[in-house]
């Protein structure tokens, strides 16, 4: 472990059960495997969340990340997929699941569910560990959150949930209230979304109807088209200007604030430095993209610090 004051970091994007690709990425960054998991003599990894769902090796991915975090060789924040899985398996005081077991929610966690049902003890172990991970992180000179950094949301979570983690108690409370704390958590883990007018219908990648889409949380929407403000959506949006009565002010992340590393937006080749202090490291590995790491060097964000790894197919055992 590096003992110097200035730790250096590799910020690693969404994994979604692609453990083989993760191993290749870690090796190409100079991490070695050991009893205590992957480690680097001088660097630490920082995971932006979304370890579960979609890919073929959920348990293996959780094992790699957990070992690195437990042995102090990595930090990790939770993503919206961890939140969904935790809420799916957590019951409220009346015994009802916090996240309903309906078709839409079942479909979203299908891959995770299929692995989790094979070994319930392992499932419990990893769910318990996921509940210990922070919602957001501030490290030496930069910030990490799964989808978007919003000062007000961060302050509210700090005040209402000083542990900064998805404990059972916290989840039960916010899913019951569905109030401002819930909304603050959604903002951090799912990013800012724009609600479409009632007469416009959208469908997501699974064919489910959507009434909202992901938008740039660092730019004002006034005077822009529906498509201009879109960020990380796979579907087409109208290229005409948003009627002014539908526009509202959002708190914009200042260009002078600390750099923010985030994942979530499935950007494929567009992933990387978005602005002087914004970097999205989600290369959309589970959906035809790549896995991405940013080698933080305490300097200005630079696209040349990105490492991209193509998907590695799981080796089948004979």
- Comparison of 242 and 292: residue with beta carbon closer to Mn ion: 292
Decide: is 143 part of the binding site for Mn ion (CB under 5 A): no
Decide: is 79 part of the binding site for Mn ion (CB under 5 A): yes
- Name the burial class of residue 118, with classes exposed (0-12), middle (13-18) and buried (19+) by CB atoms within 10 angstroms of its CB: exposed
Please pick, from the candidates 10, 18, 20, 50, the single residue that binds Mn ion as defined by CB under 5 A: 50
Count of residues interacting with Mn ion (CB under 5 A) = 4
DSSP letters, 221-238, are -TT-BTTTTB-S-SS---
Closest by CA position to 145, among listed 250, 53, 263: 263
Rounded Cα–Cα distance for residues 42 and 64 (Å): 19
Closest by CA position to 116, among listed 107, 127, 108: 127
Please pick, from the candidates 80, 90, 148, 233, the single residue that binds Mn ion as defined by CB under 5 A: 80
Decide: is 115 part of the binding site for Mn ion (CB under 5 A): no
Tell me the window of 24-32, 46-54, 104-112, 271-279 that interacts with Mn ion (CB under 5 A): 46-54
* CA-CA-CA-CA dihedral for 140, 141, 145, 150, to nearest 10: 130
CB of 146 to Mn ion, least distance (A): 6
- CA–CA distance from 313 to each of 230, 250, 270, 285, 287 (Å)? 31, 41, 23, 11, 13
Q: Collapse the DSSP code of 53 into the 3-class scheme (helix H, G, I; strand E, B; otherwise coil) and give the result.
A: coil
- Comparison of 37 and 79: residue with beta carbon closer to Mn ion: 79
CB of 37 to Mn ion, least distance (A): 23
The residue with its CB nearest to Mn ion is 264
User: For residues 243-282, which are near Mn ion according to CB under 5 A?
Assistant: 264
Rounded Cα–Cα distance for residues 190 and 37 (Å): 29
Q: What is the x/- site pattern for Mn ion, positions 279-308, by CB under 5 A?
A: ------------------------------
CB of 147 to Mn ion, least distance (A): 6
CB of 272 to Mn ion, least distance (A): 17
Q: Collapse the DSSP code of 170 into the 3-class scheme (helix H, G, I; strand E, B; otherwise coil) and give the result.
A: helix
**Residues at the interface with Mn ion (CB under 5 A):** 50, 79-80, 264
């Amino acid at each position: 472990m590096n003992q110097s004051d200035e730790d250096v970091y590799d910020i690693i994007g969404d994994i979604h059960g692609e453990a083989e690709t993760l191993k290749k990425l870690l090796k190409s960054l100079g991490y070695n495997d050991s009893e205590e998991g992957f480690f680097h003599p001088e660097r630490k990894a920082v995971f932006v969340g979304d370890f579960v769902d979609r890919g073929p090796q959920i348990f293996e991915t959780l094992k790699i990340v957990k070992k690195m975090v437990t042995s102090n060789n990595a930090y990790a924040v939770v993503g919206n997929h961890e939140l969904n899985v935790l809420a799916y398996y957590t019951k409220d005081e009346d015994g009802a699941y916090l996240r309903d077991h309906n078709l839409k929610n079942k479909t979203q966690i299908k891959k995770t569910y299929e692995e989790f049902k094979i070994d319930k003890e392992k499932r419990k172990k990893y769910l318990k560990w996921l509940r210990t991970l922070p919602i957001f992180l501030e490290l030496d000179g930069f910030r990490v959150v799964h989808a978007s950094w919003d000062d007000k949301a961060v302050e509210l979570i700090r005040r209402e949930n000083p542990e900064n983690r998805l404990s059972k108690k916290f989840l039960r409370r916010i899913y019951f209230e569905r109030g401002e704390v819930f909304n603050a958590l959604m903002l951090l883990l799912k990013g800012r979304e724009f609600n479409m007018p009632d007469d416009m219908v959208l469908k997501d990648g699974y064919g489910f109807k959507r009434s909202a889409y992901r938008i740039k949380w660092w730019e004002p929407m006034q005077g822009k088209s529906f498509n201009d403000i879109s960020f990380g959506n796979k579907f087409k949006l109208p290229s005409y200007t948003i009627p002014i009565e539908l526009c509202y002010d959002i708190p914009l992340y200042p260009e002078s604030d600390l750099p923010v590393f985030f994942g979530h937006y499935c950007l494929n080749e567009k992933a990387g430095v978005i602005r002087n202090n914004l970097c999205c490291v989600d290369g959309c590995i589970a959906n035809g993209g790549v896995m991405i790491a940013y080698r933080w060097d305490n300097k200005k964000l630079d696209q040349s610090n990105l490492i991209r790894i193509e998907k590695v197919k799981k080796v089948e055992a004979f």
